[in-house]
Amino acid sequence: METRQRKDPFLAGVLSFVVVGAGQMYVGDIGRGVGFFIGGIIGYIAFIVPGIVVHIWAIKDANDLAKKHNDSIDENLKAIDNRERMLMRSSDFNEKMVKLFKLFKSDLITDIEFHDKKSALIASLATKVIDVEPDDFLASIISLKEQSILTHEEIAKIKVLLMR
């Protein structure tokens, strides 16, 4: 998987100030950087003013390009974060159920709190994507049934939610 690093917009601008197009190359757009470099050289050779215009344009463009690059990274990270929040790993489900059961058995939560929290966790499966096939998820909760953490009715609810 490609790892994309954030780029400093100020540094991109400074690089293009020092060498026309270097900021674009720093951000990763080599072709664009070469284009600005060639345009700047031609502009300076032909007439000073066009060279200065291209140079200033390259500085602004490098800064903007770095900001767009960083925005793209941020959007990708948000998408990954959203997928993670939508994911329910069978191991996480089991761990949460066992934790609730231990809290209940240790008298740290009441019977009503235990059943409410358990019901909420089961209901959350309706909005989650599970990490395994439904049959594998069901197989992973066998121990919860054997320990009497989940009732037959609760497993039936889970089955309905998994088969949607």
Q: Are residues 98 and 81 in the same domain?
A: no
Q: Are residues 99 and 153 in the same domain?
A: yes
Residue with tokens 């069978």: 90
Q: Three-class SS of residue 78?
A: helix
How large is the average pLDDT for residues 96-124? 94
- Is the pLDDT at 58 greater than 80? The verdict is yes
How large is the average pLDDT for residues 45-50? 86
CA dihedral of 40, 46, 52, 54, whole degrees rounded to 10: -40
pLDDT band at 51 (very low <50, low <70, confident <90, very high): confident
- The Cα 111–Cα 20 span in angstroms is 70
How large is the average pLDDT for residues 28-51? 90
Q: Are residues 96 and 111 in the same domain?
A: yes
132 φ/ψ angles, rounded to the nearest 5 degrees: -135, 175
Considering the entire predicted model, what is its pTM? Answer: 0.53
Looking at residue 83, what is its pLDDT? 72
Looking at residue 2, what is its pLDDT? 43
How large is the average pLDDT for residues 78-95? 83
Q: Are residues 99 and 61 in the same domain?
A: no
How high is the mean pLDDT of the chain?
89
| Domain assignment present for 4 | no
Q: Are residues 112 and 153 in the same domain?
A: yes
Q: Are residues 111 and 123 in the same domain?
A: yes
Looking at residue 99, what is its pLDDT? 96
Cα–chain center distance at 29: 24
| Domain assignment present for 120 | yes
| Domain assignment present for 151 | yes
How large is the average pLDDT for residues 20-39? 93
Question: What value, to the nearest 5°, has the Cα angle with vertex 114 and ends 88 and 149?
Answer: 70
Looking at residue 3, what is its pLDDT? 52
Beta strand segments in 3-45, E: none
Residue range(s) defining the domain that contains residue 31: 9-85
Q: Are residues 54 and 122 in the same domain?
A: no
Split into its structural domains, the chain has a count of 2
pLDDT band at 1 (very low <50, low <70, confident <90, very high): very low
| Domain assignment present for 2 | no
Domain C-terminal end among 85, 105, 123: 85
